[in-house]
Amino acid sequence: MSDTLSNDLAGWLEASEKSSSSSASTLVLCHSNGESCKEVDILWRAYTETGENGKNTLNIQSANTSDFLSIFRKLAEENSLLKSVVKNLWNTVQYNNEYSAYLLGQYTDDEFYKVAETFSVTPLEHIDQKYLKFAVNFMHEVVEEELSSSDYSVMLNVDCSVVESSLLRLTRY
Which tens digits make up the pLDDT trace of 106-143?
Answer: 999 999 999 999 988 888 888 888 899 899 999 999 99
Q: Which of 142, 139, 168 is nearest to 154 (CA)?
A: 139
Q: What is the pTM of this model?
A: 0.63
Chain-centre distance for alpha carbon 138: 11
Q: Give mean pLDDT, residues 53-64.
A: 86
Give the C-alpha separation, 139 to 135, whole Å.
6
43/87: higher pLDDT: 87
Instruction: Taking each helix axis as running N to C, give the angle between helix 149-156 and helix 65-103, from 0 to 180 degrees, rounded to the nearest 10.
Output: 100
Indicate the pLDDT class of residue 153, thresholds 50, 70 and 90: very high
User: What percent of the chain is modeled with pLDDT above 70?
Assistant: 75
The pLDDT tens digits of the residues spanning 100-110 come to: 999 999 999 99
